[in-house]
Structure 1
Amino acid sequence: MILQGKRILVVEDEPIIAFALEDMLIEDGADVIAVGSLQDGLANARDERFDFAILDINLHGEKSYPIAHELGRKGVKFVFASGYGDAEHPSELAHVTTLTKPYVLAEIRDMAVAG
């Protein structure tokens, strides 16, 4: 249970994918908040405390970059996720890792616990 005690924000607009990811993270001990829209993700990023976040890049046609900026401002580690492979992000976010769906728990663990 490598993710034991980690509070993780999941922003994913596909419910089946969100549920599967949430279950995977909970089974590994994480406390998960999963939302499906840019607005809900941004509100949670502003108002809650997280140790890590996974942000689907494309949320119903909107980019998750405002959430990334808020998390970065608060010093929260995060990764992007995409079903389309590595994406080209704005220059200030070019350093952020992009996980390719389907999600692999070992990759998430590595990112969430990395220094």
Structure 2
Amino acid sequence: MAGKRIFIVEDEAILLCDLEDIVAELGFELAGSASSQDEAMDLLSAAPQIDVALLDLNLNGRTSYPIADRLIAAGVPVLFITGYGRRSLEGRFSECHVLQKPYDEARIADALGRLLGTHG
């Protein structure tokens, strides 16, 4: 996973910082991070190179679906993080990977490894 660029969207500041620390420990480079749907869409407009995205599903009452649509259209794999589980995803995202909250570094490493095809 070293050198891969990751984009993170999480609306809870403490969790966002935690995720940034975890992915840095795993060897990722941060392509960008956002705490809202609008902020994420603005950052994506700058067209950073992104290898994988980690998206909280619920962003202060809005979903991360528009962000996921844009990333998927660009060929970027998406990992949804949610406390609601896979059943909370809209059908068009049924093939996306999901990580249920609460999580830890090992579960994130495993999920990202599976998503990127580096193990499992």
Q: Does the 8 Å contact 1:87/1:98 carry over to 2?
A: no
Count of residues in correspondence between the two structures: 113
Instruction: Give the match for residue 79 of structure 1.
Output: 79
Identity %: 35
SS in 1 for 2:68: helix
Q: Which runs of 5+ in 1 are unaligned?
A: none
1:101 counterpart = 2:108 = no
1:17 corresponds to 2:20: no
Q: Deviations over 1:38-64 (max 9, x none)?
A: 011122234222000011000000010
How far residue 94 of structure 1 moved from its aligned partner, in angstroms, is 1.6
- Structure 1 residue ranges, 4+ long, deviating more than 4 angstroms after superposition: none
Q: Structure 2: which 5+ residue stretches go unaligned? A: none
TM score, norm. by length of structure 2? 0.84
RMSD: 1.7
Normalising by structure 1, what TM-score? 0.87
Does 1 or 2 have the higher relative contact order (CA < 8 Å, sep 6+)?
A: 1
Does residue 114 in structure 1 map to residue 117 in structure 2? yes
